[in-house]
A and B are shown apart, each in its own frame.
Chain A
């Protein structure tokens, strides 16, 4: 009786897993088909000659190297910025005394509830006023801080580490030294988790880069992929090869850093 139930569970989960994997498998299979086979050939078969050339063809049809570089630059800078601003603010909220601390913190938490989409239009107007439309600054600067990341780090920093703080202060360490030499290294797994979540969000960001950039040289990978789609039309093997460029880097990252990603999600949503 127990065995049949377990078999049923495995069967259902395998069925679900196949559904989850299907789009990925189909993307890769299609990307290796000859250009015409995908639309006209007999369906559902392995390509008889693997068309690895599709990848280099796609890479050179549009400036994907440039898109990749842009994505890398924007992702790394925004993630680094978010982590640094969050560490500094989280330290102030946990270890420093100042007037209006509770008020300021509650204000920030209230702002966290605001959907980012509501801010799209005024931020676009701000960018126009600053003459930042279609620049790297527009892609990076608005995303240099994240209340969400600060909130997660604040929780980690208010752990039972205050005795070390007193000890360090007694030994003559400054706040600055304590923060970077003791507190940050002690919380590196939480910081890594926060950083990776921000990195995923930044790499996959679409609406803001779509709106704020016009020139081809500033496109990030998702935006570049969409314009590539409207330009190539129905060449699905080529299209799927290009899709792999966008998806693959994070997929590899995920397989290596899964632990941190899941810990980050859990921590952020369960409040500690």
Chain B
């Protein structure tokens, strides 16, 4: 029973209920988490015999000196900067518009959300055809002859466009949910005080929506750090022309699956993890500060 203290027997019963989940999570999440950190320190690792020759920072030193890793890191940062602000800004704008619409809001929402249920690989293949140099729709519409996919100057931008298109829907849904959670009394009070639509947006809606915006932004950054499927499909299993679309995740894939350098790939994974932790940490700090600030204001 709920108020009862746990006993040895009730603990055993609960463990039976938990066992299936714990078994799978233990073997395929907890254990690999530990081993991937360990593996990033392996030197002279033989994958076939699982023999570890030594332990050290050699893999991280390798990454530090590998020009391809620098390229991957650089592209990932450009990619995140290209995708995240545009996605968050556009989806916030669209969500605000949809929220004020008297008719057809559900209809538009249905359309904007379509990419979420669509296989990233499949739709990226469609984009590959849309960006085709000769008969692709994009060049036909723009009356240009840009080689979007094979010109290293454009290919990262092409990837960014495709990913913005794919990420919009889910972020619009999240913003709409955030807008629905806002207390309508604030809006009503501002209206009574004679605030214009724009004033209500900037002085009421935006500050209330800010925590939600931070959450969505962090989510978008983490997703963007891990981009892989779109690259694989858009550039037919390469990292783009002259490695122009080599990102951290693609670098990890190459080291792991193509070159069988497991420890180096694991080290790259650790770097990726640290980057994600860093972003999450900054966001957590913001929320801590925000809660503190909000608390002070109300007291």
Contact = CB atoms under 8 A, between A and B. Distances in A.
B114 A251 contact: yes
A78 to B, nearest CB: 11
B134 A39 contact: yes
Given A96-B13, A115-B276, A85 B229 contact: no
Contacts of A39: 134-135
Contacts, number: 269
A250 B32 CA distance: 31
Nearest to B134: A39
Given A117-B252, A119-B29, A150 B21 contact: yes
B208 to A, nearest CB: 14
Contacts of B35: 122, 125
Contacts of A265: 116, 170, 173-174, 177
A115 B11 contact: no
Given A88-B17, A111-B25, A207-B228, A121 B119 contact: no
A239 B24 contact: no
Contacts of B112: 16-17, 20
B60 interface: no
A121 B140 contact: no
Nearest to A40: B135
Interface stretch (A23-31, A47-55, A180-188): A23-31
Contacts of A206: 119-121, 229, 232
A99 to B, nearest CB: 5
A27 B129 CA distance: 9
B299 to A, nearest CB: 25
Given A226-B232, A236-B129, A270 B269 contact: no
* Interface SS majority for chain B: helix
B15 interface: yes
Given A91-B17, A122-B39, A261-B117, A222 B122 contact: yes
A136 interface: no
B6 A23 contact: no
A57 interface: no
A239 B121 CA distance: 13
B257 A211 contact: yes
Contacts of B116: 200, 261, 265
Interface in B161-192: 165, 168-170, 173-174, 177-178, 181
Interface residues of A, number: 94
A9 B295 CA distance: 37
B26 to A, nearest CB: 9
B130 interface: yes
A125 B118 contact: no
B28 interface: yes
Contacts of A16: 94, 108, 112
Contact of B121 (A10, A124, A200, A222): A222
B223 to A, nearest CB: 10
> Most chain-A Cβ atoms within 10 A of its Cβ — which of B47, B117, B127, B130?
B117
Contacts of A20: 111-112, 114-115, 165, 168-169
Interface in A83-138: 84-86, 88-89, 91-92, 95-101, 104, 108, 111, 113-115, 117-126, 129
A118 B118 contact: no
Contacts of A269: 174, 177, 215, 219
Interface string B6-23: 110011011101101111
